[in-house]
Amino acid sequence: MRIWLAIAAMTLPLCAQVKITAQGKEKISVEIDGKPFTDFYIGPETVKPYLHPLRAADGTVVTRGFPMVSDVPGELHTDLHHRGLWFALGNVNGYDFWANEESEKGTGEGKGRIVLERVEKLAPGKKSGMIQASFAWKNPAGQTLLIESRKMTFYSDARLRMIDFDITLSPQQDVTFGDTKDGMFSIRLAAPLEEAQPKDIAEPKRTGKLVNASNKSGEKNVWGKRSPWVDDSGQIDGKTVGVAILDHPGNPRTPTYWHARAYGLIGANIFGVHDFEADKTRDGSLTIRPGQPLRFRYRVVVHAGDANSAGIGDIFTDYANTK
């Protein structure tokens, strides 16, 4: 209760270009330059926090609606755990924090949950705004494996929508991140940004193009490869839009591997080595102990045009120089 009383007491300046507002216990809304951008879902029924939907500067929705919205024409109704933009892994001490919806089977020792501990800060501003919160990664018995401290910074820009993520995972016991492709910092994109046209779905036309920093394109050349960034762009309602995820060079094991699929999934994942390298002798698992936190930083860029015209390479260079 004290968490939400504290949020309700926060006042937002009317002149803020990035407006951040708590919407009851379920979500926090982000508005940029007078337009809705996204909602951050953190309520008690949420099994892992996620942002949905994400919009371009002109309001175009670039994330899949399902399963939060089930009536978007032409969407694939698969992978219930692919909710907007999220951060999770399919094997943490054997527990599945990735495919952890209650209606899904899950893998290994059972399904974990990532639950809100507290909202630390909501900070609107003229040029940027910030949400800071902490979450507990709990196993099915309710034991906390990790405390996640997350800061998300949202920027005001006439052309782009940009979020910087700064996430620290602090183990509360010995924690092993298992070698699995199912992770970790991920987004599920709108149907027109998928690469391949599904059978028996005529519309909308899939126009997506995956590309990485080495200018390799398509799932075959991007999935399982290491790269500082990956972008997916295509046509939505006659306009070219795209989304890029940038891996900060200070991250563990950088540059990351990419779990990037033609059906609209982009995931940065350093742990799934035996899958990505197609070599069962490789082991990408990592064990950390109390007092050994892991810090991950990512930038998400929603842009007009393709990766080249949006200058994703230059944006990455700028981002790489941030501390």
Two tokens at 136? 């507990």
Query: How many Cβ atoms are within 10 Å of 32's Cβ, its own excluded?
Result: 23
C-alpha of 139 from chain center: 21
Q: Which class is 2-320 in CATH?
A: mainly beta
Smallest CA-to-CA distance from 18 within 123, 135, 101, 88 is with 123
pLDDT at 81: 96
- pTM, two decimals, is 0.94
For the chain, give every domain's residue range.
2-320
Give, as one character, the DSSP assignment of residue 237. T
Phi, psi of 144 (to 5 degrees): -85, 120
Per-position pLDDT tens, the chain of length 323: 344 434 444 444 456 799 999 999 999 999 999 999 999 999 999 999 999 999 999 999 999 999 999 999 999 999 999 999 999 999 999 999 999 998 887 677 899 999 999 999 999 999 999 999 999 999 999 999 999 999 999 999 999 999 999 999 999 999 999 999 999 999 999 999 999 999 989 999 999 999 999 999 999 999 999 999 999 999 999 999 999 999 999 999 999 999 999 999 999 999 999 999 999 999 999 999 999 999 999 999 999 999 999 999 999 999 999 98
Give, as one character, the DSSP assignment of residue 158. S
Cα dihedral across residues 274, 183, 185, 52: positive or negative: positive
Coil/strand/helix, residue 272: coil
User: Could you tell me if 31 and 25 are in contact, meaning their C-beta atoms sit under 8 angstroms apart?
Assistant: no
Contacting residues for 2 by C-beta, under 8 A, at least 6 apart: none
